Structure 1
Amino acid sequence: MVALTEKTALGRARAKSLDAVVRLNLWNARLTDLSILRQMPNLEVLSLSVNNVDSLKDIASCTKLRELYVRKNNVQSLDELQHLRTLLCLRVLWLSENPCAEDDDYRLKTIQMLPQLHFLDNVAIEDEEREDASSAALNDSQLSSSGFGAGSNQTDGRLPQPVAAASSQATIASSKENHVLSAVLTLLNTLDVDSLQTVVMKAQNQLETTQRLSSGVGTATKDVGALLRPTPATGVNANSQVVSSRAVDTD
């Protein structure tokens, strides 16, 4: 096991402390242990290509990350992308030449799991791809809620009436949730890094508040409304932020 050390990180980044590291190039360092990344909250660009990394869990703490290059590693499953879902600033991901990229629906599933991305494997994500990913997510949700997904025990293709009614309600609720999620992500894409951090903190506070309330539906609704009010920001269009630093990943 080869662990990333503080000395190596500071030397590569030419920084005086871990919280001052913004860009870090660790290309071809034979790394397997990235736990020290949890001490780099301000990291924005990370190149890990050509290493032996098999998990992305330690990257989840880098909430300001905009670009991640992790091609030619040992990431086995697309489930590892779950660790990147909370990285709302992430726009560029290069994951090709990992075992997980051999999945037949690799690109579709990645876009589905990480809708905040603008580039995947150095290729811009098109609107049509986003629509396909959203449709696939909705279809998966409908199959799951109707009881015909994996593990279904139905034998004659028909659902009992109470189950069918519940399934229909679940499908409608799922569709509404997808529309809400799409609207929220569209809003987030208009914000800059500082504003996104503010949203993350407010969302965390709201979650804690909601969990403490036993019957505070009205209060929670008002808080969500406050959360979604426009936050003063520079208003940079995320689509225009094409990353020139992709050159750090060339070999």
Structure 2
Amino acid sequence: MKLTRKQVLAKAKASDLDSVKKLNCWGCSLTDISIFSQIPNIEVLTLSVNSISSLSPLAGCLSLCELYLRRNMIPSLSELCHLRSLSCLKVLWLAENPCCRTDSDKYRLSVLRCLPRLQKLDNQIVTEEELALALVDGEEITTPPGTVQNQIPNNGLTDVETENDPLKYNMEETNKIREQLGMKPLPRDKFPSLSSPVTKETAPAIKKTHTLEAVLMLMKDLEEEELQIVHTAAQNRLQMYTLDTETLKDSLPAEKTLHIEH
């Protein structure tokens, strides 16, 4: 069943699609939600208990904050790539879809790696520790087949590939926050490719990079009081690091101390 303009306006009690902010289509036997490409201002959307298999019509709903998709027919987590550009999306309920029939811990970490702005997933609060772990251990979610366009700008990459490149996404997000904090942007070589194989040698560096990304992304949601706490904790950590370095220098021979200083 296709959701129509008339049905949307009737359910939302609205005069036009632009004014629709909240919509409840629970249990309407929907298979086609292409109408949402014409509803850019939707903020809260309930589509649970339907037969929806594609999330591509939601890619332009940039005001979407809450999305309920429980008990649909989403076949693969790759459909979540359509939601990457939704910077306001904080709540997602995806449980009881075919794409969720994997290891529960791995499923959750993979979703959070793809959508690190989420604050609640499947009615469960996302913790800072969980998000940091997701950026390290979550599986990469790639763009679903059939979404690549014919035009090839951006150094040989399509617009869709460039937009959904997890490395580019994390770089822009991290460096934007670093700029707001008065910090220098990190170059691309400081962001290991998310698709590159992880070895024992590269794992520590990758973990540190993703932990930094998680911290910086989470900081933008903090108020002044919370930021002061982070500032104090960072100062204390730096003082401990300085003391550890000085202690090490005092305990080493002169030639090794010179090496540390350089």
TM superposition score category, shorter chain reference: 0.5 to 0.7
Alignment-derived partner of residue 60 in structure 2: 61
Between 107-116 and 5-14, report the one with greater CA deviation: 107-116
Alignment-derived partner of residue 115 in structure 1: 116
User: Residues 23 and 45 of structure 2 are in contact (CA less than 8 Å); yes or no, is this contact kept in structure 1?
Assistant: yes
The secondary structure found in structure 1 opposite 2:71 is coil
The secondary structure found in structure 2 opposite 1:93 is strand
Query: 134, 145, 151: which one pairs with 2:196?
Result: 145
Q: Deviation per CA, 1:22-51, whole angstroms, max 9, x where unpaired?
A: 000011111111111011111000000011
Segments of 4+ moved more than 4 angstroms: 137-144, 174-177
User: Residues 142 and 171 of structure 1 are in contact (CA less than 8 Å); yes or no, is this contact kept in structure 2?
Assistant: no
Return 5+ residue gaps in structure 1 as ranges. Answer: 149-166, 192-234, 238-251
Alignment-derived partner of residue 189 in structure 1: 221
| Structure showing greater Rg | 2
Aligned-pair CA distance for 1:177: 6.0
Aligned-pair CA distance for 1:116: 0.7
Alignment-derived partner of residue 80 in structure 2: 81
Q: AA paired with 1:134?
A: L
Q: CA RMSD in A?
A: 3.2
Q: AA paired with 1:18?
A: L
Alignment-derived partner of residue 136 in structure 1: 137
Pairs aligned (count): 172
Normalised TM-score (structure 2): 0.58
User: Residues 138 and 178 of structure 1 are in contact (CA less than 8 Å); yes or no, is this contact kept in structure 2?
Assistant: no
Higher relative contact order (CA 8 A, sep 6+): 1
Q: AA paired with 1:52?
A: S
The secondary structure found in structure 1 opposite 2:45 is strand
Q: Deviation per CA, 1:193-219, whole angstroms, max 9, x where unpaired?
A: xxxxxxxxxxxxxxxxxxxxxxxxxxx
Instruction: State how far apart, in whole Å, the 1-side matches of 2:195 and 2:132 are.
Output: 20
Instruction: State how far apart, in whole Å, the 2-side matches of 1:28 and 1:125 are.
Output: 27
Instruction: State how far apart, in whole Å, the 2-side matches of 1:132 and 1:60 are.
Output: 26
User: Residues 110 and 139 of structure 2 are in contact (CA less than 8 Å); yes or no, is this contact kept in structure 1?
Assistant: no
Change (3 A) 1:27 1:147: closer
Change (3 A) 1:131 1:65: same
The secondary structure found in structure 2 opposite 1:24 is strand
Q: Deviation per CA, 1:49-108, whole angstroms, max 9, x where unpaired?
A: 011100111111110100000111000111111111111111111111101111112111
Return 5+ residue gaps in structure 2 as ranges. Answer: 142-191, 227-262
Instruction: State how far apart, in whole Å, the 2-side matches of 1:57 and 1:84 are.
Output: 8
The secondary structure found in structure 1 opposite 2:59 is helix
Q: Deviation per CA, 1:111-167, whole angstroms, max 9, x where unpaired?
A: 11111111111111122321221221599967843587xxxxxxxxxxxxxxxxxx9
